[in-house]
Amino acid sequence: MAYTTGIVLFALAILISVSLHEFGHMLTAKAFKMKVTRYFVGFGPTLWSFRKGETEYGLKGIPLGGFVKIVGMTPLEEEEEELDEKDQKRVFWRKPLWQRTIVLAAGSVTHFILGFVVLWILVSFIGVTQNPAYAESVEHAQETATVAVAECIPPADATADFECSSADQPSPAHEAGIRSGDQITSVAGQPVTDWESLVGTVSELTPEEPVDVTIERDGTPQDLSITPYPAEVVTEGGTTETVAPLGVTAYVDPTIPITVAAGPIDGVGETVSFTGDMFRETFIALGQLPSKIPPLWDSIFGAERADDTPVSVVGASRLGGEMVQYDQWAMFFMLLVVLNYFIGVFNLLPLLPMDGGHIAIAWFEKARSAIAAKRGKPDPGRVDYLKLMPLTYAVIVVLGGFMLLTITADIVNPITLFN
């Protein structure tokens, strides 16, 4: 139930985000006295609408986005012919270039503002940076081979939220009397100096054969006998091998929170820093996008799905569902932040039909008119959008194909976080 709830909540959050994107266009257009005739959430048949002033607001049947109608956004608008002389001055393309640029960029700016606010809340009041005390505890455990003890042997299909019950077999370490916080100093007569040497020594053990282990508790050494259990693991090469674990992990003080909240003031600087990092990673991800298509295609036909392959709205919603299922709300909202930043940047690419394409054309028209005026030639006027339609359709086909590819991969071979 929590998983389904998470999927619905994340999909709803995406819909709200996209609706706010269009609201940003509308708000700035109205601020500059442009004529806005429609604002709808969704596509397809109208479910409900009302008119306030000159604008119709409403909800449509397919909740996959939204749109706003600003008269004169492209030369394809026939609605301009029906306007009176007063409203002719309010047509989008007649407004100053700086106003048009702000209106066109307002959608992406809305995503950036939304992402920044959510990130600031996370950084300031919940925490997304690792607590130095927690890092020190991890480092101490690794340097001294201080262990945490599993109470039972987990089943092969155990998930991240697995909890031991009285019916489960005790782990070897628990059965031998080792406690969380004990330091292992030797295994099978081999000295253990840190976590790396412990792992190396245990990797050579034979399952179900007793082994002598020396621990140190409160400065006092104790000798114990442990019988490791057999467990199958998959190696990096894809083969399966049997190992002999003791049932211990590196000990971290459970009273120390993993993350630390920066507070509302310091959180501003932290958020700016995080935002810079995310923008940089977004541009890197966009540059690497073509190289991700072959492995994404292969994953549909049975290859292992890499965690860094792109996901669709379907995949992102499934990840959101997992995060809610395992009570990882900070991750849930961080995914929303990443998604908003990515959509904001992607939408500013200078390609039609994205807003960045319209911005690029507007500035091209301005530059072309300035050059013509300098040369004493007549103003060439507006760009003929009809001539750009083949390129626009090509972009739509490519983006549509990529979306179909990611949706298929997210259904057939989805990325999972906790299984």
Catalytic residues: 22
Contacts of 12 (CB under 8 A, 6+ apart): none
Q: Which residue has the tokens 């057999």?
A: 230
Picking from 332, 346, 350, the residue whose alpha carbon sits closest to that of residue 402 is 346
DSSP string, 76-112: T-SGGGG--HHHHTTSGGGS-HHHHHHHHHHHHHHHH
Contacts of 340 (CB under 8 A, 6+ apart): 17, 111, 112, 114, 115, 118
Cα distances (angstroms) measured from residue 78 to each of 82, 310, 381: 8, 39, 18
3-state secondary structure of 4: helix
Extended beta strands in 176-257, E state:
183-187, 190-191, 211-217, 220-226, 231-234, 240-243, 248-250
> What are residue 38's DSSP bridge partners?
56, 69
Cα dihedral across residues 149, 151, 152, 154: positive or negative: negative
Q: Residue 306 in contact with residue 397, Cβ under 8 Å?
A: no
Q: Residue 244 in contact with residue 189, Cβ under 8 Å?
A: no
